[in-house]
Structure 1
Amino acid sequence: MKIISFLDRLTTPANLTIKDGITYWQEKILLNLFLIIAGLGLITYIPSFALSIKEELWIVAIIDTFMYLFILFLFFKPNLSYTFRAASIPLISYLLGMVLIITLGPFGAGPVWLFFFPVITGVLLGYKMAFWALIINALTIISLGFLISFNLTDLLVSLNFKVWYLSSDNPLEKWIVVSLNFMLLNIIATLSVTTILNGLQRSMMAVTRSKKKYHRIFENILDVYFETSMDGIILEISPSIERISQYSQNELRGKSFFTIYKDTNHRDETLKRLIKTGFLKDHEIRLINKDGTIHFCSVNARPLKGKDGKPEKIIGIFRDISNQKKMEKEKKNLEERLNRSQKMETLGLLAGGVAHDLNNILSGIVTYPELLAMNLDKDDPLKKSLGIIQSSGYRAAEIVQDLLTLSRRGVITREVLNLNDLVSNFLLTPEYKKILSFHPNIFVEKQIDAATPFLKGSSVHLQKTLMNLISNAAEAQPDGGIIRIKTQNRLLNNPIKGYDQVEAGNYVVLSVKDNGIGIDPEDLKRIFEPFFTKKIMGRSGTGLGMSVVWGTVQDHEGYIDIISNADKGTTFDLYFPITTDEALTPEKPFSLDACKGNGEKILIIDDVDAQRRIAGVTLEKLGYKTVSVSNGKEAIKYLKGNDADLLLLDMIMEPGIDGFETYKRILDFNPKQKAIIVSGYSQTRQVEKTLRLGAGYYLKKPYTIEEIGIAVKNELLKTEK
């Protein structure tokens, strides 16, 4: 074995590998020929040399010696050009053949060497050189025939060659027959060998190209190609696995697929399905990488059968669909948020319409008791009753205000607020104490951490929002517990995804956390819908508490995030944009005398008779003269023939033109006309458009004497521009 191994090393090309295809094998054949000739050729050389000396054939002896030494030289000089070394073998074969034919005749070894000449040329140098070798052989045979035909072989005697003859009779004809058979067989053998070698070379080149192409695909494919045994051992896997799993090819080859397969419990079920159906298509699995991150992948695979027809391994491709799953989840969340928003918008429109009508009705309940009380003595018992009526009207107006908040039309005024102060002040209010009286086992912890607590909005709505959140947190802990209220600043450089998607920005955050029963995921989707509750209706407020929270946050251009776990509690995080505006100077206390008029004429435009009477009585009580009309066209007609110092203009008047259109037409012929807008709705786009036209103030029904008095007085005192 050692000798065979040694000889194999001697005949193995030093600078080529098996990947070099036919070139490698040609070099190996050449080295084998050199080795055989150097070894076995010695056995042929010694008797041939001795015979040549005995018969005084000195040229043959010299040629044999030279050729043998030349072969040894080529064997030990592998660094010489391959073409030179390879061409030497056919050349030697040809020369030996010629010498032996001339000296020994056709019954010697000469024809064998000539036959070998084009065959070995095709093996070592290719079919083109083999073709030329055949031509040389043909010319050689023809030349010998020519010598025989013209009896020129005697000329060789002078060169000390013993001339031979094919036969004493018809030597030329017999030489032609022998030569034609020789050449036919020589051509067939040469073509067969060169065709096989040429085809083999083409096949190897095609295989090499295919292998290179496969290798490029294998190395650069984005999906992951894999081969595993039937028991899950990874036999081959593409480099793209590193992008998904952070494991390299070498780290995974020979290891179990369970190294990266997350759902090990489903392995048997998946394998049975694969064998039963013969394939897996878009089968979803989860892979886990080195740091524990989970990737969702889609697998297409099939078993590969062996010669016995039984599955011997599994081949397939899987693709990372984590981003796709993420996008599907985001799309679903967006659809849910959109549906939620559309549902709240629809409910808001309904609530806004109801609130408008209720505000018109409540105007009399809120305003008339105050007007009547002004004419009564301080100790008159009716004054107390009127106060109760008015107080009831205020409470009803608060419920209507909740409806307006739901419709996102509730925030009338915006002022700079300190969230820290707002929280601290609310914890001193009767509303807060009332909540605690219903839940004596509840304790509240306050953590004021917001260094920049300023936002722009309505303190009334924000306090009501805080009240609703605290009330819900208390009711979520029926056996008692702790409610944590916290303010803090958060700067978001990137959006965060929660119940809402909170956009990047600088926020002051109000958090209310409890350790209660948590919110069911299905209930969480509907938590802000009006009248959706798991509580007993009528016992815990109006059913609009969380709707008020949602509407208030939306009106303040903020965001809501909710974190809730069963039996671990719920946290509401309310994000409000920080404002850099300065706080407003507190207004002076109301003085009725300061709001009284001097007989200025005010035109009241309202389609509801009761509203015209309420406004008229109130304004006349304040010292103004009033005129009333029921629609916009009557107002226009009146003002074309009469003057009015101020218009008290209702926004919605049906049928006919609304307040915006009415005021616009009046300005066409009286561009300096002053006006105040009143409406049962909160501020709408029509209101904003009317204010931009020149209306000075917006007053929401039901209004108090103080509110209408201040609005009218301030508008009348404005200097015309």
Structure 2
Amino acid sequence: MTAAVPVSREGSTAALFAASGIPSLLFKRRMQILEYFASVILDLMEGRKIESALKESQRRYREIFDGGRDGMVMVSPGGRILEANPAYCEMLGYAPGELVGAADPLFPTDDQNKGTIARPHDGGGGIESGFYAMRLVRKDGAPILVEVRAYSVPDQDGRPEYRWYLTRDITESERLALETEQLRTQLEQARKLEAIGRLAGGVAHDFNNLLMGIMNYAELCRDSTAPGNPIRKWLDEIVNITNRSAELVKHLLAFARKQAVSPRALDINDAVTNMLRMLRRLIGEDIELNWIPGQDTRTILIDPAQFDQLLVNMALNARDAMDGPGTLTIESVNSQFDAGDCRVHPECTPGAYSTVIISDSGRGMEPDVIPHIFEPFFTTKGTGEGSGLGLATVHGIVRQNNGFITVYSEPGRGTTFRIHFPSHEGIPIRSGPVDTSVEQTAGDETVLLVEDEEAVRTTVEAFLNRLGYRVLAAEGPEQALEVAAAFQERIDLLLTDVVMPGMNVRDLVAGMKQMHPDIRCLYMSGYTSNVIVHRGILDDAVDFLAKPFTRDQLGRKLREMLERKC
């Protein structure tokens, strides 16, 4: 006979135990014993399943724990490491198993662990469950930034049994994020400076025309006034004021990179050496000037006048920063920048550079001031103590010559400017100062003057007449060609503004050369234009006169051109 015994678990039948035997043996008491054995057998079967499931769970846990790329660490309530995975040990520079039993850096004690384990950035009794970023120190002393997710695990009574920390080293990502933010800030600053530069260039062009009218009318009136007349003194003052205003505009044009330049190969060491005497006069006797030339410093490509202006502006800026006794040091070195370096400096391109380092022992600058120092009219000086264009001019000169500037400053400890110019393979040309003292400025040749601004045209025509030239005047390119076509005699020189409405000045020059193949061309403008320059660099064989100019400057330039052999 076969008997079946149901085995119940939690009010329901979990299994059916069957037994076969002699019917006379299956009494009620023995059935109870049978039920007991059936229950024990079921418990054993379930225990094996649980054990198997537990082993599988442990295997999966170990795979996740040991193979995880993020650091995992289990910490006791007292802050001791119970278990740490290989990623966590590697992150802190320890061998696997070396951290077990040690004080965990994520759970600082009052004595800050005495340096036995990487110290955290702050004190306290551990961190609560949540999300954190902490600065830790590796076994080798290197600092790292760690992203932490903390989980507190309670026991049956609700008290903390241990904590789980999931960690990730974010040092590199934070560095990249910081570099990205720096690049964004620098690009915004560059765009702002570029916008200001365009505005400055446009204003300078119009302002130069106005200045030239005032300056030239004052000069004409002064020349027509007797030396003893008191009005002459007033006219002299007007001319002086307009000259100072013209210098201000020149700085604006330098910042806007709108001035015409003639770059050539330049030896930095020679250029600085030639300027030392002037620089010492500028900064005064209270300031010590040290010049440390580098060995075999690379040649650069720049207009020498621009480089001299850069040195003067930097020396004056250093003098004002020291405001008394101090030290100004100028150095020259060769530098090399790779793609990694240029990520930090958006104006940099990889390659070889020649660097001028200018350091002062002045009062230094606060960090929030440094981003603004190259803005035009920005100054930390008092009212009337500076134009705020010195460093803006330097920035414009450096950028026009494809260089860039880095600045380091600490309040009370001085400032260091590193001015980097791309190296140039050309051979530097050494020349002395240009002699501008031309006694003979008069002439009797025929000059065609083309200028759309009436005040400028009228005064320049008067200058030319007083210098003895025969003058043909036109308000624009179209009228100039008509005047030239109607004039049957030789025209020796075309004196023309660059920026005028209507016909392009290149077309004007081409038309004039068809009628007068040997005509000389002198361009004048308040700022440069791509009509005659490319990126501010004069085309070959171009003669240019920057507005505003005086009668003597015009006369010397005309004689230089007209007496030059073709």
TM range (shorter): 0.7 to 0.9
For the structure 1 residues 699 and 547, does the alpha-carbon distance in structure 2 shift closer, same or farther, using more than 3 Å as the test?
same
Aligned equivalents of 1:589 and 1:473: distance in 2? 30
Aligned equivalents of 2:95 and 2:487: distance in 1? 92
What corresponds to 2:272 in structure 1? Answer: 423
Residue 372 of structure 1, CA deviation:
9.9
- The CA deviation string for residues 201-257 of structure 1, in whole angstroms up to 9 with x for no partner, is 554444333333322222222211111112221111221124422122312111111
What corresponds to 2:395 in structure 1? Answer: 550
* Structure 2 counterparts to residues 399-548 of structure 1, below 5 A: 399-410=248-259, 412-429=261-278, 432-436=280-284, 440-493=285-338, 494-495=340-341, 502-539=348-385, 541-548=386-393
Q: Secondary structure of 2:369's partner?
A: helix
What corresponds to 2:7 in structure 1? Answer: none
What corresponds to 1:113 in structure 2? Answer: none
Aligned equivalents of 2:43 and 2:366: distance in 1? 78
Residue 432 of structure 1, CA deviation:
3.6
For the structure 1 residues 623 and 197, does the alpha-carbon distance in structure 2 shift closer, same or farther, using more than 3 Å as the test?
farther
Aligned equivalents of 1:415 and 1:354: distance in 2? 29
2:86 matches 1:239 = yes
Alignment check: 8 A CA contact 2:289 2:329 kept: yes
Residue 530 of structure 1, CA deviation:
2.3
For the structure 1 residues 291 and 619, does the alpha-carbon distance in structure 2 shift closer, same or farther, using more than 3 Å as the test?
farther
- The CA deviation string for residues 488-534 of structure 1, in whole angstroms up to 9 with x for no partner, is 22233451677876543222211121222211111112222222222
2:120 matches 1:266 = no
Aligned equivalents of 2:163 and 2:307: distance in 1? 63
Q: 2:72 aligns with which of 205, 225, 240?
A: 225
For the structure 1 residues 509 and 694, does the alpha-carbon distance in structure 2 shift closer, same or farther, using more than 3 Å as the test?
closer
Q: 1:314 aligns with which of 158, 163, 168?
A: 163
Residue 565 of structure 1, CA deviation:
1.7
Alignment check: 8 A CA contact 1:344 1:529 kept: yes
What corresponds to 2:420 in structure 1? Answer: 575
Residue 305 of structure 1, CA deviation:
0.3
Greater CA deviation, 638-647 or 476-485?
A: 638-647
2:530 matches 1:680 = no
Aligned equivalents of 2:429 and 2:208: distance in 1? 29
Residue 603 of structure 1, CA deviation:
3.2
Q: 2:130 aligns with which of 280, 283, 286?
A: 280
Question: How many pairs does the alignment contain?
Answer: 528
For the structure 1 residues 537 and 185, does the alpha-carbon distance in structure 2 shift closer, same or farther, using more than 3 Å as the test?
same
For the structure 1 residues 501 and 610, does the alpha-carbon distance in structure 2 shift closer, same or farther, using more than 3 Å as the test?
closer
Aligned equivalents of 2:366 and 2:506: distance in 1? 49
TM-score by length of 2: 0.78
Aligned equivalents of 2:541 and 2:298: distance in 1? 34
How high is the sequence identity, in percent, across the aligned residues? 27
Which one has the bigger helix percentage? 1
Task: Show structure 2 runs of 5+ residues with no match.
Answer: 1-16, 106-115
For the structure 1 residues 375 and 579, does the alpha-carbon distance in structure 2 shift closer, same or farther, using more than 3 Å as the test?
farther
Residue 708 of structure 1, CA deviation:
3.5
Alignment check: 8 A CA contact 1:590 1:706 kept: no
What corresponds to 2:100 in structure 1? Answer: 253
Q: Which has the higher contact order (CA 8 A, sep 6+)?
A: 2
Alignment check: 8 A CA contact 2:355 2:421 kept: yes
Q: 2:546 aligns with which of 700, 704, 711?
A: 700
Q: Secondary structure of 1:521's partner?
A: coil
Aligned equivalents of 2:358 and 2:295: distance in 1? 14
Alignment check: 8 A CA contact 1:242 1:248 kept: yes
- The CA deviation string for residues 275-314 of structure 1, in whole angstroms up to 9 with x for no partner, is xxxx212x11111112322211221112110111111211
Alignment check: 8 A CA contact 1:225 1:238 kept: yes
For the structure 1 residues 187 and 408, does the alpha-carbon distance in structure 2 shift closer, same or farther, using more than 3 Å as the test?
farther
Q: Secondary structure of 1:252's partner?
A: coil
Aligned equivalents of 2:516 and 2:204: distance in 1? 33
Greater CA deviation, 579-588 or 509-518?
A: 579-588
Q: Secondary structure of 2:368's partner?
A: helix
What corresponds to 1:352 in structure 2? Answer: 201
Q: Secondary structure of 1:250's partner?
A: coil
Greater CA deviation, 452-461 or 258-267?
A: 258-267
Q: Secondary structure of 1:399's partner?
A: helix
Q: Which amino acid in 2 is paired with 1:414? A: P
Q: 2:448 aligns with which of 598, 603, 609?
A: 603
For the structure 1 residues 228 and 201, does the alpha-carbon distance in structure 2 shift closer, same or farther, using more than 3 Å as the test?
same
Residue 190 of structure 1, CA deviation:
9.7
For the structure 1 residues 549 and 591, does the alpha-carbon distance in structure 2 shift closer, same or farther, using more than 3 Å as the test?
closer
Greater CA deviation, 392-401 or 293-302?
A: 392-401
Q: Which amino acid in 2 is paired with 1:257? A: D
Aligned equivalents of 1:581 and 1:619: distance in 2? 40
Alignment check: 8 A CA contact 1:677 1:695 kept: no
Residue 579 of structure 1, CA deviation:
1.2
For the structure 1 residues 396 and 495, does the alpha-carbon distance in structure 2 shift closer, same or farther, using more than 3 Å as the test?
same
- The CA deviation string for residues 42-93 of structure 1, in whole angstroms up to 9 with x for no partner, is xxxxxxxxxxxxxxxxxxxxxxxxxxxxxxxxxxxxxxxxxxxxxxxxxxxx
For the structure 1 residues 707 and 372, does the alpha-carbon distance in structure 2 shift closer, same or farther, using more than 3 Å as the test?
farther
Alignment check: 8 A CA contact 1:476 1:516 kept: yes
What corresponds to 2:12 in structure 1? Answer: none
